[in-house]
């Protein structure tokens, strides 16, 4: 492996080459004689940059300290400065060459000096082609004084974006110029396409609503410009009646009535009549705006920060002055076209367009300067979210929450990934201050970062902006968190969730652990108008206060919203109440925050109301769906996981009966918990009232609690030990279960309930490392055994005791009857709902193996690798071995006080060896087989097959219901990968079109979804043999296939075994699918991504099965020769994207393992294109692989 020194030496030579090129570029600016050499050398720049990036990446990966990383980032920055300087000079010299390329022939016939003509850049938009084509052909193509290679150079520098791709693969040479020019003409000089484009522009022109001269002028310009272009092709002579009616459709009822009144007699008006009519009214509107004078313009100026009193803004005026012009002047580039047709404006990010509109005082809805959005006559709203702003100002995919004025409720332009903030512009005499504070948040390096926070008791969660999250650099957990605003209006999902530490600059020992939901933006600037310190001094009760936000009166962005979940920990004693229309002050750990109204005269302000609630149910379901779709990867232990393990090993013990006793793994030795009794009491009384109304639930609840008491798992706290201020009281509630294999009712303990200081029990505990085995791996191994069995550890959590000294943190309130006093109980065992319980339970089983496993080797092996939480999933090669394993497992678990129940097996004899009460109830006769749940799958022990049962819910077709239904698809081994690809494509489409959670999608999606739902019951016909391997096989091979399409890419793995009889057995082992990204990626690169997926899947399957099968060889197959060429070559030969993926593939598989397969024989094609349920059920290529795989000599196909 190369050292940092060796890599740095190679990088240094590249830097010297670029430095020499920088010097040459500066000479080329001054001396034309060296420009030819400069362009030749500059042609190698991209290759040098690629080599540098490769070495730089390797060096960065070898860095071990932050100082070393900072040094490397400095080198990267200097190198980037040099390469961009070279490219800038090259572009400058190309522009100079293009500007000096006018014809140099005899121009003696005209002595008038014309202005220098610059060739416009053509970006591939068909409407710009005729102008570019005529100019380029006149100035360059037909210029006899230019050589072919010079013309090619001008052509290549005059093309951008899509147009540049037409000739990008042609080397610049004299011979290739004619080829390049002809290719461009063939691509864009298409009369039919041009005519269609002109007509489409006319047909899709925006409608005019109200007396908006800008919209009216824009409509006239669109018709005039495109009709002029159509007339060049003599295509409009007979269109008069069509054009007249088409333009009338673009006008609202008022304009149509005015035009009808202007018509004399019964003659049919001509298109020119309507055009002249609108031109007159457009001129009249412009003139009326001009005559309004200059007062309105000055009235709309924003107050400066230095002003002691902000400037007055009359609510009644909504006009600004403008100069008379024959054509509308663009507010962005000053050319004569509407702002909505400005290429520079359209190329801006939505966020920048919104900022531009705000700075120019434009109407957010129609982009007019004549009025504000509150006076906008247009009835057209955003076409994406139907809110009161222009579609061009809609933030997708990163919405913003800029404040705006409106006559009604206006949501921020967001539908995909943000919090919906409701704003309402109403006339008021008070200007409202919102509670803001300066807070400190600790970043990933332990440094303190200052941010501006808004305190909001109406929010159930705490939020942080993406900008702030990026600065902090803390790890985020992916989460889909639907959020609701005022009036139950749903918004779209969030970016994720992060945990951080909040501190105060005033209270040194204050520390708050907060969980924050990451959103693109919280709101617009707060406050909405500037407030000076002088205005505050008039209120005596607010003098000499140490403010939490010294700049409370300066409109600034909000980085953090502190919700009700942390509010109790922030507020301290002290409240200074103001009188009517005076702000009040609330004391917090950050200082005094100001909130309330300040009296203003005739002002119009934006009232913000923050009210959010979070629905986590859909997030949990989708999270499980996406986790199953990932190939499992090894996760490195985090520092807090190491600490949790140390606490466990140093505190675990056993009682006299052999049962284990554990301690709760607190993050700190002194848990920071407030008073929780009052909250638990309120929750219990509410629970008791519900149980009183529901007799069946009350009976089930009483039975559950009685069982807890009878087994000693909870005990009454002696009156002498009762202390309502110590420990933690856990609220509880019941959950009814419909699963016949599980208890129909169980009590859930809510250890996430907040105490008075805002912390819950779960907040102060360590969760511990994830010890659960991967479900896919368990099922894979389960499929290799001849004899298999499953069982359940009865009440596993409750067999592990919690140390007596820590039971005060597990107190509950309970009584069986309202006539009885409410008793306090200790929960004596590991408890459901406590975040550390899964770790404690599974880790205790591992400790049992360590302590007692030496006497029961077969049983110990099962507990180590064949258990998922409390489910045992194991097997053996023979009934004798299975019985021995069963016996050892029972004895081993008994040593720790555990008992196995709900036994099931594909062998009747194995099941009969345990008491009937310990067996899972199902019919064994094959004539009436029964299905049982096995790690979420349907397994029939008698027939020994897996199957699927998915019953669709007939709910309305909305984004929420579609995602909810898709999340129900449980496919841990990827047997339904072609089906899940279609599901994932639906999710991608629903996100990209930006509809609301409860909105119906477009008709084509509804039709596809209805077809999908109608076919889902067909999956019940799928029967997959449980056993996929033969112990006596001569050879065992893994064959992985990869394929990609424009829609997605996928991989599938088969096990191929040859038996002593000569028979070949092929079994589907696992499959995975991915949707293609929205950003266009070339098909060869997608094929390479599919190869990465196949390599990951093959590696996972090989590692999973190596303990139970001897895999003789692994084969990988792809139908992409380009991808195979990349994989079989050293990674350094390729660009970064390809090189990184090739290196990853070669780390997992030898290049010699890869082979070519024809497209028609590639079963991964099913996973890359997607199949409907009915197609999946009957697709032989997917279930069995290509036919030659079951024959001999298949390795050379």
Distance CA 952, CA 970 (A): 13
pLDDT at 1117: 96
Which domains does the chain possess? 4-99 (1.20.58), 126-189 (no CATH), 195-280 (no CATH), 422-615 (2.40.70.10), 622-627+637-940 (3.10.10.10), 959-1189 (3.30.420)
CB atoms within 10 A of CB 674: 16
pLDDT at 311: 38
Distance CA 459, CA 612 (A): 5
Asked whether the beta carbons of 804 and 763 are under 8 A apart, the reply is no
pLDDT in tens, 764-780: 999 888 888 888 899 99
Q: Return the SS3 of 233.
A: coil
pLDDT in tens, 1038-1073: 999 999 998 899 999 999 999 888 889 999 999 999
pLDDT at 190: 65
CA-closest candidate to residue 752, choices 735, 767, 736, 737? 767
Distance CA 58, CA 53 (A): 9
pLDDT at 961: 82
Question: What SS3 string covers 888-913?
Answer: HHHHHHHHCCCCEEEEEECCHHHHHC
For 13-17, 390-394, 627-631, which range has the lowest pLDDT when averaged over its residues?
627-631
Contacts of 7-16 with CB under 8 Å at 24 or more apart are: 7/55, 7/58, 7/59, 7/62, 8/59, 10/55, 11/52, 11/55, 11/56, 11/59, 11/75, 14/48, 14/51, 14/52, 14/55, 15/52, 15/75, 15/79, 15/82
- What value does the mean pLDDT take over residues 1129-1139? 86
Q: ∠ at Cα 575 (606, 539), nearest 5°?
A: 65
User: Is residue 85 pLDDT above 70, yes or no?
Assistant: yes
Q: Return the SS3 of 578.
A: coil
Distance CA 212, CA 371 (A): 9
Beta strands per DSSP E along 663-810:
714-716, 732-736, 745-749, 787-793, 801-802
H or E stretch covering 874: strand 871-876
User: Is residue 473 pLDDT above 60, yes or no?
Assistant: yes
Banded pLDDT at 831 (limits 50, 70, 90): very high
Q: Return the SS3 of 785.
A: coil
Cα pseudo-dihedral 860, 863, 866, 869, rounded to 10: 180
User: Is residue 242 pLDDT above 70, yes or no?
Assistant: no
pLDDT in tens, 998-1036: 778 888 888 888 888 888 888 888 889 999 988 788 899
What residues have CB less than 8 Å from 55, skipping those under 6 apart?
A: 7, 10, 11, 14
pLDDT at 786: 92
Q: Decide which of 54 and 903 is more confident.
A: 903
Q: Between helices 977-993 and 1003-1015, what is the axis angle to 10°?
A: 160
> Is the torsion defined by CA of 1178, 1183, 1184, 1187 positive or negative?
positive
What residues have CB less than 8 Å from 1094, skipping those under 6 apart?
A: 1040, 1041, 1042, 1051, 1053, 1116, 1118, 1164
pLDDT at 993: 77
- What value does the mean pLDDT take over residues 693-699? 88
Burial degree of 884 (CB within 10 A; 0-12, 13-18, 19+): middle
Distance CA 986, CA 984 (A): 5
CB atoms within 10 A of CB 21: 20
What residues have CB less than 8 Å from 951, skipping those under 6 apart?
A: 1016, 1017
Asked whether the beta carbons of 981 and 966 are under 8 A apart, the reply is no
Distance CA 161, CA 126 (A): 13
List, in sequence order, every residue forming a beta bridge with 749; answer none if it has no partner. Answer: 732
List, in sequence order, every residue forming a beta bridge with 1114; answer none if it has no partner. Answer: 1038
Question: What SS3 string covers 1011-1048?
Answer: HHHHHHHHHHHCCEECCCCCCCCCEEEEEEEEEECCCE
Q: What is the mean pLDDT of the chain?
A: 77
Phi, psi of 433 (to 5 degrees): -95, 130
Q: Return the SS3 of 655.
A: coil
- What value does the mean pLDDT take over residues 1171-1190? 91
Q: In this structure, what token pair is assigned to residue 350?
A: 């939505």
pLDDT in tens, 368-416: 877 777 678 776 677 556 677 887 777 644 333 333 333 333 333 333 3
Percent of the chain as helix, strand, coil, to the nearest 5? 45, 20, 40
Q: Decide which of 358 and 283 is more confident.
A: 358
Distance CA 414, CA 341 (A): 23
Distance CA 750, CA 1037 (A): 49
Most confident range, picked from 109-118, 338-347, 402-411, 1150-1159 = 1150-1159
Q: Return the SS3 of 474.
A: coil
> Is the torsion defined by CA of 868, 873, 876, 882 positive or negative?
positive
Annotate 542-611 with DSSP letters as a single string. GTT--BS-TTTTS-B---EEE-HHHHHHHEEEEEE---TT--EEEEETTEEEEEEEEEEEEEEEEEEE--
pLDDT in tens, 479-522: 666 666 554 445 555 668 888 999 988 887 788 888 898 888 88
CA distances from 1110 to 681, 875, 1057, 1104 (A): 60, 17, 11, 11
Question: What SS3 string covers 1161-1184?
Answer: HCCHHHHHHCCCHHHHHCCHHHHH
pLDDT in tens, 267-318: 556 767 777 777 776 666 554 444 333 333 333 333 333 333 333 333 333 3
Banded pLDDT at 987 (limits 50, 70, 90): confident
Q: In this structure, what token pair is assigned to residue 1074?
A: 């991915």
Question: Residue 403 carries which DSSP code?
Answer: -
Taken as a whole, the chain contains a residue count of 1197
Distance CA 877, CA 1048 (A): 40
Banded pLDDT at 210 (limits 50, 70, 90): low
List, in sequence order, every residue forming a beta bridge with 1044; answer none if it has no partner. Answer: 1049
Q: Decide which of 188 and 860 is more confident.
A: 860
Asked whether the beta carbons of 610 and 458 are under 8 A apart, the reply is yes
For 27-36, 801-810, 1037-1046, 1058-1067, which range has the lowest pLDDT when averaged over its residues?
27-36
Banded pLDDT at 584 (limits 50, 70, 90): confident
Question: What SS3 string covers 56-73?
Answer: HHHHHHHCCCHHHHHHHH
Q: Decide which of 145 and 493 is more confident.
A: 145
- What value does the mean pLDDT take over residues 746-761? 88
Tokens 């047909």 map to which residue? 203
Q: In this structure, what token pair is assigned to residue 949?
A: 């049962």
Q: Decide which of 136 and 603 is more confident.
A: 136
CA-closest candidate to residue 984, choices 776, 1170, 1163? 1170
What residues have CB less than 8 Å from 877, skipping those under 6 apart?
A: 785, 786, 787, 1031
pLDDT at 535: 73
CB atoms within 10 A of CB 1170: 24
Asked whether the beta carbons of 369 and 408 are under 8 A apart, the reply is no
Banded pLDDT at 326 (limits 50, 70, 90): very low
């Amino acid at each position: 492996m190369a050292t940092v020194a060796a890599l740095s030496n190679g990088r240094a030579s590249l830097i010297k080459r670029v430095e020499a090129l920088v010097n040459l570029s500066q000479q080329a600016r001054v001396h034309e004689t060296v420009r030819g050499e400069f362009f030749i050398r500059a042609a190698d720049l991209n290759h040098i940059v690629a080599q540098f990036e490769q070495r730089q990446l390797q060096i960065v990966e070898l860095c071990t300290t932050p100082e070393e990383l900072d040094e490397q980032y400095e080198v990267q920055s200097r190198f980037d400065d040099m390469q961009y300087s070279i490219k800038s000079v090259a572009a400058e010299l190309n522009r100079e060459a293009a500007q000096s390329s006018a014809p140099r022939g005899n121009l003696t016939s005209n002595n008038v000096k014309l202005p220098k003509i610059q060739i416009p850049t053509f970006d591939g938009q068909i409407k710009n082609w005729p102008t570019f084509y005529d100019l380029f052909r006149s100035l360059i193509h037909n210029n006899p004084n230019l050589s072919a290679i010079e013309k090619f150079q001008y052509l290549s520098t005059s093309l951008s974006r899509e147009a540049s791709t037409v000739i990008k693969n042609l080397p610049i040479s004299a011979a290739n110029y004619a080829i390049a020019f002809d290719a461009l003409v063939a691509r864009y000089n298409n009369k039919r396409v041009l005519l269609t484009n002109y007509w489409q522009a006319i047909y899709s022109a925006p409608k005019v609503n109200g007396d908006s001269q800008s919209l009216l002028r824009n409509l006239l310009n669109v018709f005039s410009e495109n009709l002029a272009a159509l007339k060049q092709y003599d295509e409009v002579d007979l269109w008069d009646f069509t054009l007249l009616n088409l333009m009338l459709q673009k006008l609202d009822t008022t304009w149509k009535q005015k035009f009808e009144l202007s018509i004399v007699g019964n003659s049919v008006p001509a298109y020119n009549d309507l055009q002249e009519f609108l031109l007159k009214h457009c001129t009249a509107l412009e003139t009326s705006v001009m005559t309004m004078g200059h007062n309105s313009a000055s009235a709309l100026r924003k107050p400066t920060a230095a002003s002691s009193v902000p400037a007055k803004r009359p609510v009644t005026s909504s006009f600004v002055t403008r100069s008379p012009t024959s054509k509308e002047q663009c507010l962005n580039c000053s050319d004569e076209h509407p702002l909505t047709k400005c290429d520079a404006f359209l190329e801006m990010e939505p966020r920048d367009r919104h900022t531009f509109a705000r700075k120019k005082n434009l109407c957010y809805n129609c982009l007019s300067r004549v009025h504000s959005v509150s006076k906008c006559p247009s009835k057209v709203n955003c076409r994406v979210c139907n809110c009161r702003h222009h579609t061009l100002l809609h933030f997708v995919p990163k919405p913003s929450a800029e404040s705006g004025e409106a006559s009604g409720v206006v949501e921020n332009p967001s539908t995909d990934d943000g919090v919906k903030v409701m704003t309402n512009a109403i006339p008021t005499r008070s200007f409202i201050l919102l509670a803001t504070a300066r807070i400190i948040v600790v970043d990933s390096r332990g440094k303190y970062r200052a941010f501006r926070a808004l305190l909001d008791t109406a929010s159930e969660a705490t939020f942080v902006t993406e900008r702030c999250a990026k600065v902090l650099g803390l790890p985020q957990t992916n989460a889909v968190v639907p959020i609701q605003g005022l009036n139950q209006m749903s918004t779209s999902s969030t970016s994720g969730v992060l945990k951080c530490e909040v501190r105060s600059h005033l209270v040194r020992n204050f520390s708050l652990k907060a969980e924050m939901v990451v959103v693109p933006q919280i709101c617009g600037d707060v406050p909405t108008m500037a407030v000076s310190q002088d205005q505050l001094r008039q209120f005596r009760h607010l003098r000499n206060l140490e403010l939490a936000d010294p700049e409370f009166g300066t409109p600034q962005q909000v980085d953090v919203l502190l919700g009700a979940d942390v509010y109790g920990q922030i507020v301290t004693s002290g409240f200074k109440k103001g009188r009517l229309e005076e702000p009040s002050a609330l004391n917090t750990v950050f200082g005094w925050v100001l909130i309330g109204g300040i009296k203003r005269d005739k002002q119009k302000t934006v009232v913000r109301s923050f009210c959010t609630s979070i629905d986590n149910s859909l997030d949990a379901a989708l999270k499980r769906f996406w986790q199953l779709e990932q190939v499992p990867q090894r996760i490195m232990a985090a520092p807090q996981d190491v600490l949790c393990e140390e606490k466990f090993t140093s505190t675990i013990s056993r009682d006299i009966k052999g049962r284990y006793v554990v301690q709760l793994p607190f993050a700190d030795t002194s848990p920071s918990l407030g008073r929780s009794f009052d909250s638990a009491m309120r929750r219990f009384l509410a629970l008791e009232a519900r149980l009183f109304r529901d007799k069946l639930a009350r009976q089930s609840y009483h039975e559950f609690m009685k069982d807890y008491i009878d087994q000693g798992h909870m005990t009454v706290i002696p009156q002498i030990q009762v202390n309502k201020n110590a420990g933690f009281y856990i609220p509880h509630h019941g959950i009814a279960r419909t699963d016949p294999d599980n208890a129909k009712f169980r009590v859930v303990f809510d250890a996430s309930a907040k105490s008075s200081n805002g912390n819950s029990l779960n907040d102060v505990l360590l969760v511990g490392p994830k010890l659960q085995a991967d479900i896919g791996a368990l099922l894979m191994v389960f499929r290799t055994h001849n004899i298999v069995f499953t069982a359940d550890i009865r009440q596993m959590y409750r067999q592990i005791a919690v140390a007596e000294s820590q039971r005060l943190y597990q107190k509950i309130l309970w009584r069986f009857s309202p006539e009885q006093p409410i008793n306090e109980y200790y929960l004596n065992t590991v408890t459901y709902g406590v975040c550390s319980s899964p770790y404690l339970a599974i880790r205790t089983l591992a400790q049992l193996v360590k302590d007692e496993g030496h006497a029961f080797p077969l049983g110990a092996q099962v507990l180590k690798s064949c258990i998922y939480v409390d489910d045992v999933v194991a097997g053996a090669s023979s009934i004798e071995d299975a019985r021995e394993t069963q016996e050892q497992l029972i004895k081993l678990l008994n040593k720790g006080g555990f008992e196995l129940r709900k036994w099931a097996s594909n062998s009747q004899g194995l099941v009969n060896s345990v008491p009937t009460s310990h067996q899972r109830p199902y019919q064994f006769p094959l004539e009436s087989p029964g299905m049982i749940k096995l790690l979420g799958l349907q397994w029939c022990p008698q027939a020994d097959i897996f199957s699927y049962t998915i019953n669709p819910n007939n709910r309305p077709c909305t984004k929420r219901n579609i995602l909810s239904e898709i999340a129900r698809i449980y496919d841990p081994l990827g047997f339904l990968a072609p089906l899940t690809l279609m599901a994932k494509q639906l999710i991608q489409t629903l996100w990209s079109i930006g509809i609301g959670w409860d909105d119906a999608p477009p008709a084509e999606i509804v039709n596809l979804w209805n077809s999908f739902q109608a076919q889902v019951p067909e999956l019940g016909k799928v029967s997959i043999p449980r056993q996929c391997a033969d112990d006596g096989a001569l050879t065992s091979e893994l064959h992985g296939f990869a394929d990609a399409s424009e829609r997605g890419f996928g991989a599938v793995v088969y096990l191929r075994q040859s038996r002593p009889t000569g028979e070949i057995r092929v079994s589907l082992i696992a499959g995975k699918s991915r949707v293609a990204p929205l950003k266009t990626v070339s098909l060869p690169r997608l094929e390479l991504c599919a190869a990465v997926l196949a390599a990951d899947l093959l590696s996972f399957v090989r590692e999973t099965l190596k303990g139970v099968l001897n895999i003789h060889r692994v084969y990988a197959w792809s139908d992409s020769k380009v991808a195979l060429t990349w994989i079989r070559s050293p990674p350094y030969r390729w660009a970064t994207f390809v090189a990184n993926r090739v290196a990853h593939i070669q780390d997992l598989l030898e290049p010699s393992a890869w082979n070519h397969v024809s497209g028609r024989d590639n079963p991964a094609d099913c996973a890359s294109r997607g199949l409907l349920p009915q197609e999946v059920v009957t697709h032989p290529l997917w279930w069995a692989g290509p036919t030659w795989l079951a024959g001999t000599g298949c390795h050379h196909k």
